[in-house]
Amino acid sequence: MDKGFLPRQQFPELYQALTKAGYEVIGPTVKDGAIVFSPLAGFEQLPTGWKEQTSPGRYQLEQTAGQRCFYWNTGPQALKPWLFKPEQPLWQAEQTADGLCFRQTPEQVQPRAFIGLRGCDLAALKIHDQHFLKGVFTDPYYQAQRQQLFIIAVNCARSASTCFCVSTGDGPTATFGFDMLLDELEEGFLVASGSDQGELIMQQLPLANTKKKQISEAKQQLQSATQQQRVMPDEQQLLKLVDRLEHPQWQDVAERCLACGNCTLVCPTCFCSKQESHSDVKGQQADQVRLWDSCFSEQHSYIVGKVFRPEISQRYRQWLTHKLATWQQQFDRSGCVGCGRCISWCPVGIDLVEEAQALLKSEADDG
């Protein structure tokens, strides 16, 4: 992949090129003490100098002296809410003089360029593509948003203490699914294209030739990002979780877990949803709406007369065994991309990796 160098002072020209090409630019910005993806009025809104400190149950932004815009790793969410929306009207029903009518809810879409997505985010996107585009039916709402995406990925220059993408094989390098790829250095960016559309944008940038020193610096910082403290057991090991359904660890975690569902909401691959009918006051018209849901909710497994998972231990077990083990049978890979969001955004600091290790370690102990 040929790379060019874009000096930092000329970085805003990327924004100009994207808007000129008709994209709404969505990128990271600091909001409410976290990195949040929002429409950007300009690159000055990028989180310059910010990095995050994370640990189980903790996410804290810190200002650094540097000028980097992508020195953080994750925010609570990246792409998921833009494609699989928290609230998605699906269809409308109306009682008319001619009888009951059903119609698909129309939706406006526009070309959007996302800047700042990481390897873990792209791995999660690939999983959601598989679920929403290649399931029994294509989800037209997801598809409409997905088709007009332009993705500018960034290789991570460091890892947060909750990251474990190296062990899931999803980072810190972005290797697929992008239109452009950046490596951020102090003085500017190494830029590469990953598609014809990316090439078109790249041609409009005042790129200089890369220097050996820049290539080596990018390689070095990527190398340092691979130094991660948490290691998720490999997929073959994780499959054994389904043999541990009666393990006392489930009860142990249930005593800490609040069943709040935060882990499922920040997870970039969780796809559970529920449907509600929202009616007008006259009862003549109603919207069928899809809303994010969580397997931590007691109602999630409810049918008339029975809740299949009444205990928190059973709901945590459902989440973890699905995400790490049975997901593999459904999608040919684990549902975990190593972003660590579920760890830092858990209000009581439950660490997915530690729980998986504890469940599997005991298996080895049991011989």
Q: How far apart are CA 367 and CA 361, in angstroms?
A: 10
- Least Å distance between CB 284 and other proteins? 8
Amino acid at 176: F
**Residues 77, 37: contact at Cβ < 8 Å?**
yes
Helix (H/G/I), strand (E/B), else coil: 10: helix
Q: Which is nearer to other proteins, 56 or 335 (CB)?
A: 335
- Least Å distance between CB 45 and other proteins? 29
**Residues 52, 59: contact at Cβ < 8 Å?**
yes
Q: Which is nearer to other proteins, 309 or 341 (CB)?
A: 309
Is 131 near other proteins (CB under 8 A)? yes
Task: Give the residue, chosen from 276, 348, 361, 362, that forms a contact with other proteins under the rule CB under 8 A.
Answer: 276
Q: Which is nearer to other proteins, 245 or 258 (CB)?
A: 245
Task: Give the residue, chosen from 7, 330, 332, 362, that forms a contact with other proteins under the rule CB under 8 A.
Answer: 330
**Nearest C-alpha neighbor of 89 from the set 292, 275, 288:** 288
Buried b (16+ CB within 10 A) or exposed e, 94-133: eeeeeeeeeeeeeeeeeebbbbbbbbbbbbbbbbbeebbe
- Least Å distance between CB 302 and other proteins? 6
Helix (H/G/I), strand (E/B), else coil: 365: helix
| DSSP H helical ranges for 140-195 | 140-147, 165-168
Task: Give the residue, chosen from 1, 97, 99, 209, that forms a contact with other proteins under the rule CB under 8 A.
Answer: 99
**Nearest C-alpha neighbor of 218 from the set 188, 193, 176, 177:** 188
Buried b (16+ CB within 10 A) or exposed e, 210-219: beeebeebbe
Is 9 near other proteins (CB under 8 A)? no
Is 110 near other proteins (CB under 8 A)? no
CB count within 10 Å of CB 259 equals 16
Give ∠ CA 265-266-269 in degrees, rounded to 5.
Answer: 85
- Least Å distance between CB 49 and other proteins? 39
The contact mask relative to other proteins for 237-256 (x = CB under 8 A, - = no) is -----x--x-----------
Task: Give the residue, chosen from 33, 234, 308, 332, that forms a contact with other proteins under the rule CB under 8 A.
Answer: 308
Task: Give the residue, chosen from 51, 68, 80, 300, that forms a contact with other proteins under the rule CB under 8 A.
Answer: 300
Is 93 near other proteins (CB under 8 A)? yes
**Nearest C-alpha neighbor of 70 from the set 121, 116, 3:** 116
Is 311 near other proteins (CB under 8 A)? yes
The contact mask relative to other proteins for 135-174 (x = CB under 8 A, - = no) is xxxxxx--xx--x---------------------------
Q: Which is nearer to other proteins, 72 or 296 (CB)?
A: 296
Binding residues vs other proteins (CB under 8 A): 90-91, 93, 95, 99-104, 106-107, 109, 131-132, 135-140, 143-144, 147, 242, 245, 271-277, 279, 283, 286, 288, 290, 293, 295, 300-305, 308-311, 313-314, 317-318, 322, 326, 329-330
